[in-house]
Amino acid sequence: MEKENRDLLIKGALNFGIQLEDWMVEAFDLFLKELCKWNEKINLTSIRTEKEMVLKHLLDSLSVAPHLSKISSLLDIGSGAGFPGIPLKIIQPSLDVTLIDSVQKKVDFQRHIIRTLGLKGITAIHGRIQNREILERLEGRFDGTIARAFSDLDTLLLRSSPFLRRGGVVLAMRGKTSDEDLERLQPSTKVRYRLIKTATFLLPFSSIKRSIILFESQP
């Protein structure tokens, strides 16, 4: 990374209470270099500049860290090029992470990064969470599920349910949100989940609005 972007990452992470160690910064640097290299050949992300990747991929992913204190196993749904699951794994090595995406080339990239960074306790799966084989393989395994910009909050909660342990948490990463997002939830979903909180914020050093909505599954 250019020094300006490296400083942006380090200072931005501090906004979320994260003190990045040197080896973590080096891991993120290699991650972005590989992402840029792969992105020249296959379209993994529409974000092209290094600064935007630091802001909209890395810092956006790290914004979840303050909400993971009770989560030791995490399912990243629709993980794309590995966000937020891989950055969270880098800063929290003890976190057990499973990435799942329906696009093979994105899963190939995830596996490449996992090998390149020598990460342990993280798996990348090609498939859809509604597939029977995936359900049978991963049912009831996770303390939490997470997804970035999942189009339909109600569907995310519905699809997450089979994978969660009792009292498991769904973390929905959104752009700016409103009460309407919650009002649209179906009655059956409201019975199944309890709203814990909604955290709204700006990405560090930008005017980009983000929110994280946390739900706890009901017994």
User: Which helix (H) or strand (E) segment is 23 a member of?
Assistant: helix 22-39
| pLDDT score of 183 | 82
Confirm if 212 and 172 have CB atoms less than 8 A apart. yes
Q: Maximum CA pair distance of the chain?
A: 50
Structure confidence by residue, pLDDT tens digits, 78-123? 999 999 999 999 999 999 999 999 999 999 999 999 999 999 999 9
Q: How far apart, in whole angstroms, are the C-alpha atoms of residue 153 and residue 138?
A: 21
Residues 6+ apart with CB under 8 A from 37: none
Residue 149 has pLDDT above 80, yes or no: no
| pLDDT score of 198 | 92
Q: What is the CA 140 to chain-centroid distance, rounded?
A: 19
Fold of 61-217: Rossmann fold (3.40.50)
Structure confidence by residue, pLDDT tens digits, 127-139? 999 999 999 999 9
Structure confidence by residue, pLDDT tens digits, 158-211? 999 999 999 999 999 998 766 777 888 888 888 899 999 999 999 999 999 999
Per-domain boundaries in the chain: 61-217
| pLDDT score of 178 | 61
Q: How far is CA 198 from CA 16, 57, 73, 119, 153, in A?
A: 16, 20, 21, 31, 13
